[in-house]
Amino acid sequence: MEVETASKTIRFKLNGQACSIASNPVTRTSDVLREELGLTGTKVGCDAGDCGACTILIDGEQRFACLTAAGQLEGCDVQTVEGLAKDGKLSPLQQAFHRYGAAQCGICTPGMLMAAQSLLNVKPSPSREEVEDALGGVLCRCTGYSKIVAAVLEASGTETQELPADADSGFGSRTRKVDGEPKLLGTEIYGADTAPDDSLWMRVVRSPHPRATFVLPSPEKIIEENPGLMRILTWQDVPGNNGFGIYPHIKDQPVLAKDQVRYRGEAVAALIGDRKSIEAVTDDDLGIEWVPQDAIESYESALEGKISPVQEIHEDNLLARGFLKKGDAESVYEQSLIKAQGSWETSYVEHAYIEPEAGYAVKRGQRLELFVSTQTPYMDRDEVAQVLGIGPDQVRIIPSAVGGGFGGKLDCSVQPLLAVAAWILEKPIRCTFTRPESLASSTKRHPAKMKASASCDKDGSLTSLSFEGDFNTGAYASWGPTVADRVPIHCSGPYFVPNILAKTRALLTNGPPSGAFRGFGVPQSAIAHEALMDSLAEQTGIDQLEFRLKNALRKGQKTGSGQLLENSVGQAECLEALQSRWQEWRKASEEFNNHSEIIKRGVGIGCCWYGCGNTSMSNPSTMRVGINSEGTITLYNGAMDIGQGANTIMIQICAEALGLPASSFQFIMGDTDLTADAGKTSASRQAFVSGRASQLAGEHLRTQIIHLAEAEEDANLRLDGRTLWVQDKNGEHSILLSDLLPRTNGDVLVGEGTFDPPTTKLDENGQGSPYATYGFGAHIAEVEVDLKLGTTRVLRLAAAHDVGKTVNPTQVEGQIQGGVAQGLGMALMEEYVQGVTENLHDYLIPTVGDMPDIEILLIEDPEPLGPFGAKGIGEHALIPTAPAILGGIRQATGVSIHRIPATPDRVLQAIQQKGMQA
Amino acid sequence: MLRLPPFELLQPATLAEALELKKQHGEDAMYTSGGTDLYPNMKRRQFEPHFLIALKGIEELSRIEIKNGIRIGAGVSLDKVANHPFIQEHYTALSTAAGLVSSPQLRKMGTLGGNLCVDTRCTYYNQNYPWRKSLGFCMKKDGDICWVARSSPKCLAVSSSDCAPVMLALEADFILLGNEDQRTIKAEEFYQDDGIHYLRKKPDEVLISISLPEKSGWNSVYKKLRRRGTIDFPVLGAAVSVRLDEDGICQDARLALGAVSSAPVLASKASEKLLGKKPDSDLIQAAAYEASKLAKPMDNTDMNLGYRKKMVSVFASRALSEAIAS
Ligand SMILES: Cc1cc2nc3c(=O)[nH]c(=O)nc-3n(C[C@H](O)[C@H](O)[C@H](O)COP(=O)(O)OP(=O)(O)OC[C@H]3O[C@@H](n4cnc5c(N)ncnc54)[C@H](O)[C@@H]3O)c2cc1C
Ligand code: SF4
Ligand code: FES
Ligand code: FES
């Protein structure tokens, strides 16, 4: 039966104004707001009540816009994020969010603001607990919630943290995000928020099978029957190379699969047409004939060779190997009296950014323009060019604001598909993935199966460490080789170990492609090395923190790859900073345990180190800064801000180098026509590499100014409208900017800086200097385990990180808190299973209530190569968390968890097995 | 974007109109209150009604009446139930359970009636259409086999309402209004252990209100097992209500379990163990163990089956101890 879907007039109050719409009453309110009223501040992260991104107020109370039928708005008072600010002035709540840096990527911010507002409407001075309860239905993947809760409490006047009231904007200050306001106002434009009016929509048809061959019948009939459906794209429509991938020589993932699929979620066709039609035509209507085949779903079946290989060219399913050998770990271990060993297995982990992949593409003359949520515009440009068979200069990538990335938006998602569609249809095309689609198709953290052993002498000095790890890289290469390379270098931890043997393999299976996720395999291997440290410490009778301190890498020592560490090695300082808390917390937990039978507490510790930048590879960044005749300074920032705050810190750094205030800067981010290539936002490289380039660009501009004014090097600069004042000991010189001839983009003076961190190649034993600098850190975590339920709660966590030099404390803290949240998720709950956890209801990420108090200690051992001493923190922040939590569980229960995440059933099983042995 | 299948929203102002609409459209129509369960399910094509009859605008469903106990309209929001002072005081388990349902937004939107009628859940079933299709449909929707237990003649999807077991423990009566008549049935008779036909409600019947007997002198407790502090459905729920005399002798006790089968389960044998005795920890353990025999979890929700089974006695004993101690 056909259902007539008639429009009706619905009247309600919207942000204080009377509003009347003619809409089908069954339309979701989120659609009405975003599409019919153009209010894209309300976000859609799941469309199913699981994420809270769409939270709005109806009659003052928080509701899901994605589950509210428009018909139910009749007569209601509706408030969206756009209604919070009054006369363009941020509300007190928005101001507090701004000051605390509570919006990182900002995609959850509208929902958070509305949820918080609904509480403040009825409880002007709520307690911390009430705030946490009120925010319980909104997920944030970036912040770890700390700053959000703090901001709400401050807005209500309940609690205030010590923050300088209105921080200045210099290097090292708590400058508010330069791109913060639009995120708070709901005016920020993310991938799904805009497209040309005449855009067609694209819906991707994906494989429901992990492995299958298929035949796609000719689409003519369906197109005929559905006038709104313009085209069904298949692999034959790809004008250039039907393959993409991170590595220039491995373009193994088809844009659209030809004849066979290798994982559930692989793209096989794309429907293009008006929105209604592409959604009305179901996958079933296409009549694809699937022949499912035996899939390789375990390490064993990948290695056995019984099932035909995932990719024909990799007969043994071995995509890549990594190797490192220093000294003779095997024989030292054999002879050693104090040894530890173990094996661990981790799961697929999903990035779960709250913004699903989205964007639009449009052909302009002989060029393609792509507006997309991405971490890497320049790689996208080159990728799209080769897929279309055109030159990179024919592609322009304009990044949208990015609602979270964490490595997941380094790989192509919508990009090649949109590009092909727009190129051959010569129409603007847009697409937004659904949440299940995003989960099924996107890359994940590599599951790992690891075996490791280590030894030390009786004084507790490490003598050897061996590591073997298999990393499930899924059906396509993505970043698999990077993981295989990076892990051997890092798998011995931030310790001096004289003998190391490390072997890694990236194995192809019929799982989703594993890619880059904060740490490239290092967080997995840290679980192994930290468990070994605990065990060795115990055997030698040395305190676990002291043991690590004793073995910590220090200046003048060589790493496992033989690299001499000359500067910025703050590992020991991180541990020392935690010492007093460590002892105090351990004592407190012991005392607690004396009086508690079923609930037990424990404190664990984890350490990390991580090389900033690409492994043994040139990875330059170029930054530009210009002043125009009006006196506006623009930073042309190619370093994508994905919420971590690159826009802000690049300006802080450049301003410091230039000698003019950051507040006189504006910025352009990542547009490949306007900015220079700053490389990817990955590998914790932007603050370090692009930061240095920003510094150099600022200095370059400054030199020109000093030159023009014929002033002394140490002159002070001052900008006054169109006049640039340069003051040195000889007096003040002025430069009238409007007198200078404009160069590029209307700028009259342009500074440029390029920095490529020095590295060397690794030899066949993995020896060399793969990174120009490393970041170091340590976390301690107090956990509470219910011995009868196997549930674990993290009560508090302290994180010490050597960041070289802090560019912006608020942002560094935000990175660490967010990293801890993801580390906690990885340790305790996150496990992606194909076909089972393909929504944010079954794939669990930490909610506000799951997060502990986090104390942050910043250690500054300056890195001479970095911008004013700074280096990266993005990935470091996550690495020590899981080891610290797992160590805490060990301490509390006496059992070690070898299958991660440590879900209640696994923990309980381990506890009961130990009980049976005892 | 996850799309709803096309349908028409009917917004009656009275119960009589609602029933009339249902009579008119029969199987093509479904009732909805908050829509928080039904809309996501429709997006997954688990239900494809052509008409939704919205009960939300019907004023008489949102009343609360305190007289010889309490009568709560089915349309009262979970948030109201959770924060109602009288319910908090006299029916603590109910306010606790309502307050533990999902997230704040959902509790504002979702209703008590909808919660009591919430669809049963199963990992094979709570998936989108293409996934269910690729595996092969199961008997709960579009197919004829059960993937959880292939030999099972019936669907084993799990009753996942937080409030349902509480209703059993609190001796609730459900008041149903149909085209033929109005009737009152006991909470335990409202449910049946069949994942597809999990309610003994005629299709045209509207759950209009829930009546709870006067409970002074009783203590009640609800305990919920889930992985995170918010959002998640119960993996297990235990509801207890007990009445002790001044000497601590148990006069009356009711223990009910949620999320252990397709219906909430009343563990009468377990509570009988406590009657006339002064419950100490051994007795509580024994009662909890008795209760756990009733739980027949299947491998179709979060956390493994063995674990969930083990948790039943732990939860039952914790709920009992707390109710007895308070
Ligand atoms: C993210 C998420 C998390 C959730 N977590 C939980 C949880 O933790 N615990 C839990 O118990 N539930 C949970 N739910 C399920 C559900 O949202 C709640 O149970 C809610 O209370 C349902 O109420 P509603 O009014 O929205 O029901 P609706 O969706 O409107 O209806 C649910 C069902 O009941 C029927 N129905 C509704 N009202 C009546 C009536 N008066 N008479 C007859 N039939 C009626 C409908 O036809 C439908 O079949 C969750 C749902 C989501 C989306
Ligand atoms: S229990 Fe069986 S029939 Fe019921 S939903 Fe699950 S798989 Fe389907
Ligand atoms: S979009 Fe509405 S809850 Fe996620
Ligand atoms: S800031 Fe919350 S999801 Fe990014």
Question: Domains plus CATH for chain A?
Answer: 1-186 (1.10.150.120), 200-293+357-432 (3.30.365.10), 444-614+764-917 (3.30.365.10), 621-755 (3.30.365.10)
In a domain, residue B140? The reply is no
Residue A730 reports pLDDT greater than 50: yes
For residue B268, being part of any structural domain is answered with yes
| Contact assignment for B230 to A909 by CB distance below 8 Å | no
pLDDT band at B147 (very low <50, low <70, confident <90, very high): very high
Model confidence at A2: pLDDT above 60: no
Helix (H) or strand (E) holding A212: strand A212-215
B116 CB near ligand 1 (under 6 Å): no
Q: Is residue B147 part of a domain?
A: no
Same domain for B24 and B48, yes or no, is yes
In a shared domain, residues B43 and B71: no
Give yes or no: residues B212 and B240 share one domain. Answer: yes
| Rounded mean pLDDT, A685-696 | 96
State whether the beta carbon of A354 lies less than 6 angstroms from ligand 3: no
CATH number, residue B245: 3.30.465.10
Indicate whether B168 and B51 sit together in one domain.
no
**What's the pLDDT band for B96 if we cut at 50, 70, 90?**
very high
Residue of A268 and B306 predicted with greater confidence: A268
* One domain for residues B239 and B280: yes
Two tokens at A683?
């590998």
Q: Looking at the structure, tell me whether residues B9 and B32 fall in a common domain.
A: yes
B139 lines ligand 2 (CB under 6 A): yes
For residue B43, what are the domain limits?
A: 1-57
With a 6 A CB cut-off, is B147 part of the ligand 2 pocket? yes
Cross-strand partners of A253:
A244
Using only C-alpha atoms, chain B has a radius of gyration, in whole angstroms, of 20
Ligand 2 contacts CB of residue B212 (under 6 A): no
For A:441-480, CB contacts with B below 8 A are none
- How far, in Å, CA of A178 to CA of A176, rounded? 6
| Beta carbons of A553 and A569 less than 8 angstroms apart | yes
Asked if B134 lies within 8 A of A789 by C-beta distance, the reply is no
Sign of CA dihedral A594, A596, A598, A600: negative
Q: Do A625 and A699 touch, CB atoms closer than 8 A? A: no
User: Does the C-beta of B195 come closer than 6 Å to ligand 2?
Assistant: yes
DSSP A626-694: EEETTS-EEEEE-S--SSS-HHHHHHHHHHHHHTS-GGGEEEEES-TTTS-----S-TT-IIIIIHHHH
- To test ligand 2's pocket by mutation, which of B148, B160, B261, B298 has the most ligand atoms within 8 angstroms of CB? B148
Token couple for B113: 């009636």
CB contact under 8 A, B11 and A71: yes
In B40-99, the residues whose Cβ lies within 8 Å of chain A are: 40, 43, 50-52, 54, 56, 79
The per-residue pLDDT for range B241-252, each reduced to its tens digit, is: 999 999 999 999
Residue A164 has pLDDT above 60, yes or no: no
Quick one: B70 and B200 in the same domain?
Answer: yes
Average pLDDT, chain B: 95
* C-alpha–C-alpha distance, residues B39 and B48, integer Å: 10
Q: Is the Cβ pair B230, A847 closer than 8 Å?
A: yes
Ligand 4 pocket, CB under 6 A:
A 103-108, 140-143, 354, 404, 643
B126 domain-assigned = no
pLDDT at B320 > cutoff 80: yes
For residue B150, being part of any structural domain is answered with no
Please check whether residue B123 touches A, CB under 8 A.
yes
Q: Work out the average pLDDT over A114-142.
A: 97
Ligand 4: which of A143, A400, A435 to mutate, most ligand atoms within 8 Å of CB?
A143
Both B99 and B217 in one domain: the answer is yes
- On whether both B52 and B65 belong to a single domain, the answer is no
For residue B75, the ligand 1 atom closest to its alpha carbon is: 41
Ligand nearest to C-alpha B199: 1
**Residue A48, min C-alpha distance to chain B (Å):** 5
CATH number at residue B24: 3.30.43.10
Q: What is the mean pLDDT of residues A511-534?
A: 97
Q: Kindly give, in sequence order, each residue whose CB lies less than 8 Å from that of residue B17, ignoring residues fewer than 6 positions away.
A: none
| Interchain pair A838, B127: CB under 8 A | yes
Expressed in angstroms, the distance from the first to the final Cα of chain B is: 48
Check if the beta carbon of residue A679 is closer than 8 Å to that of residue A690: yes
Q: Tell me how crowded residue A221 is: count the other CB atoms within 10 A of its CB.
A: 11
Chain A with chain B: Cβ pairs closer than 8 A:
154
CB-nearest to B231 from A1, A50, A115 is A50
> Across chain A, what does the average pLDDT equal?
96
Contacts of A76 in chain B (CB under 8 A): none
Q: At which of B37, B57, B77 does a domain end?
A: B57
ipTM for the whole predicted complex goes beyond 0.95: no
pLDDT of res. A5: 58
Exposure string for B237-249, b = 16+ CB within 10 A, e = fewer: bbbbbbbbeeeee
pLDDT of residue A81: 98
Q: Which chain B residue lies closest to A30 (C-alpha atoms)?
A: B1
- C-alpha to C-alpha distance for B177 and B75, rounded to whole angstroms: 14
pLDDT, residue B251, reads 96
Interchain pair B225, A789: CB under 8 A = yes
Q: How far apart are CA A628 and CA A305, in angstroms?
A: 64
Give the pLDDT band of residue A169 (cuts 50, 70, 90): confident
Tell me how many domains chain B contains.
2
Per-residue pLDDT tens digits for B55-68: 999 999 999 999 99
What's the CA-to-centroid distance between B299 and ligand 2, angstroms?
Answer: 10
At A165 the pLDDT is 45
Q: Which residues of B touch A44 (CB under 8 A)?
A: 1
Residues B27 and B110 in one domain: no
Picking from A26, A27, A430, A845 by the largest number of B CB atoms within 10 A of its own CB, the best residue to mutate is A26
The answer as to whether B211 is a domain residue is yes
B95 and B20 both lie in a single domain = no
Q: Residues B46, B171: one domain? A: no
Q: Would you state the pLDDT for residue A760?
A: 97
Is position B105 within any domain?
yes
The stretch A437-460 carries a mean pLDDT of: 97
Q: Which of A67, A788, A844 sits opposite B36 (nearest CB)?
A: A67
In tens, the pLDDT along A195-219 reads 999 999 999 999 999 999 999 999 8
Dihedral, CA atoms, A201, A205, A206, A209, nearest 10 degrees? 160
| Ligand nearest to the backbone CA of A46 | 3
Assigned domain for B141 exists: no
Instruction: Give mean pLDDT, residues A392-405.
Output: 98
pLDDT of residue A62: 97
Tell me which of B57, B78, B105 is where a domain ends.
B57
- Tens of pLDDT, residue by residue over B149-192, are 999 999 999 999 999 999 999 999 999 999 999 999 999 999 99
User: For residue B5, what pLDDT band results from cuts at 50, 70 and 90?
Assistant: confident
The answer to whether B33 and B55 are in contact (CB under 8 A) is: yes
Where does a domain end: B57, B78, B104?
B57
Instruction: Band the pLDDT of A235: cuts 50, 70, 90.
Output: very high
Amino acid A229: pLDDT:
97
